[in-house]
Amino acid sequence: MKKLLLTLFVSVTLVATAAEKIQVTVMNSLPQARRGEVVVIPFREIRAHFPTAPIHNLVVRNAATGVEVPSQTTNFNPDDRRALCDDFLFQYDFAAGEKSAQFTIEAQAEPVPPYPARVFARYVPDRLDDFAWENDRIAHRVYGPRLDSPAAGGSRMISSGIDVWCKRVPYLIVDRWYNKGHNAYHTDTGEGLDTYSVGTGRGCGGTGVWDGEKLHVSHNWQTWKILANGPLRTVFELTYAPWDAGAGVKVSEVKRFTVDAGRNLDMIESTFTVQGGSGEITVAVGIVEPPDAKLLATAKNEAGTWLSLWQEYPKAGQLGCGVVLAPEAAFAGFAAGKSDPKFRNQLVLAKVKTGQTLRYFAGAGWNRSGLFATQADWEAYLADFARRLRAPIAVNVPAAK
């Protein structure tokens, strides 16, 4: 009898939970369209409304149309037995002139099936400790410890730059391309290719310390950790061991990458520990001028604190690489410098104290992707991205009763 009563109580609780619903309003202050805007709600606010609902039973719908909207819950500490998640998020495309949009969030009695993944990251031990990631627009990789070891043979290299893989397709390709083999993914067979030469340069958004004349850079990443892996947002961290930044100063770095679907720029939060000197450094975020491509244009925008290089590859079209500093960054100008005689980098600079985090965005756009036909298209995207950072959306969640 006790068992029957317990079963009835659980059933009633699930029915009551399934009937709960809240309405969320998302507000936009800009007149232009905002595609792929990420709506982030601290999960504690969701839990206040749905104290007993399993996280995978939550569903978001567009209040105007009733259409289900893909969502994701992040949990950066899954070993915590209290199951305290971090964020609940979904995306929305604001039309030009659209000031607000309403969504409902409810808890279903049954789990919501997984949504198709549009982002992905993984450690790649099968290719000399690469770490690779992508979304539905572009892909990247960075180099790990084994590339700087005898196991790498003639490929041995010290580099903390960020590589670019150009995509024609919205589906995920990282595993497919590694499966093809190293030389094969340098040829475009319909999905795109790796045509970018990061070398020992900064690639597309790598960092270093600028002393006014020289760029001091780290070795390959030392450790990795994936915190979230889709379907809409992937988050991971890479650590870099202390390196010599000149004048007796040593610097180490932890980089947290947030990769969102539908964007060509990833958010990177670099936290630096400085030993020696004044405790303050000038961080340089760079874009390499690749030696095997023709540099067509360099654009620098102090008002939006963004930097862009537009380059042409003989057989692979044109590619734009960009860096945008977050509005709160202590912008310190632009520069150009080398950390290696073969690779010159264009740099955007920011002042950072030990323990501080520099937030910036970096990524690329290919003219054969169908998204950016020209240099002007790419630079307009960067300018719009910077404008959106300075006018973030506002999210209104009703207070729990």
pLDDT at 263: 98
Q: Tens digits of per-residue pLDDT, 38-65?
A: 999 999 999 999 999 999 999 999 999 9
Average pLDDT value for residue range 121-144:
98
Q: What is the mean pLDDT of the chain?
A: 94
Residue 12 has pLDDT above 90, yes or no: no
From CA 16, how far away is CA 172, in angstroms rounded? 39
Three-class SS state of 83: coil
Please list the residues that pair with 323 across neighbouring strands.
Answer: 307, 362
pLDDT at 2: 37
> With pLDDT > 90 as the criterion, what percentage of the chain qualifies?
91
Sequence-ordered list of residues with C-beta below 8 angstroms from that of 262, at least 6 positions apart, any chain: 35, 36, 91, 118, 135, 136, 137
Q: Tens digits of per-residue pLDDT, 135-182?
A: 999 999 999 999 999 999 999 999 999 999 999 999 999 999 999 998
Amino acid identity of residue 153, one-letter, is: G
The total number of residues shown for the chain amounts to 401
pLDDT classification of 112: cutoffs 50, 70, 90: very high
pLDDT classification of 131: cutoffs 50, 70, 90: very high
Quote the pTM value.
Answer: 0.94
Cis (ω within 30 of 0) for the bond into 231?
yes
Distances (CA, A) of 267 to 189, 264, 279, 362: 30, 10, 25, 7
pLDDT at 122: 98
pLDDT at 375: 98
Q: Tens digits of per-residue pLDDT, 222-276?
A: 999 999 999 999 999 999 999 999 999 999 999 999 999 999 999 999 999 999 9
pLDDT at 20: 79
Q: Is the dihedral of CA 44, 57, 397, 118 positive or negative?
A: positive
From CA 227, how far away is CA 378, in angstroms rounded? 30
pLDDT at 293: 94
What are the helix and strand counts (H, E) for the chain?
A: 4, 26
Q: Tens digits of per-residue pLDDT, 294-336?
A: 999 999 999 989 999 999 999 999 999 999 999 999 999 999 9
For the chain, list the domains and their CATH numbers: 2-113 (2.60.40.1180), 119-389 (2.70.98)
From CA 337, how far away is CA 350, in angstroms rounded? 15
pLDDT at 3: 39
Q: Tens digits of per-residue pLDDT, 184-208?
A: 999 999 999 999 999 999 999 999 9
Distances (CA, A) of 95 to 31, 98, 205, 322, 390: 9, 5, 30, 25, 18
From CA 373, how far away is CA 131, in angstroms rounded? 29
Residue 17 has pLDDT above 80, yes or no: no
> With pLDDT > 70 as the criterion, what percentage of the chain qualifies?
95
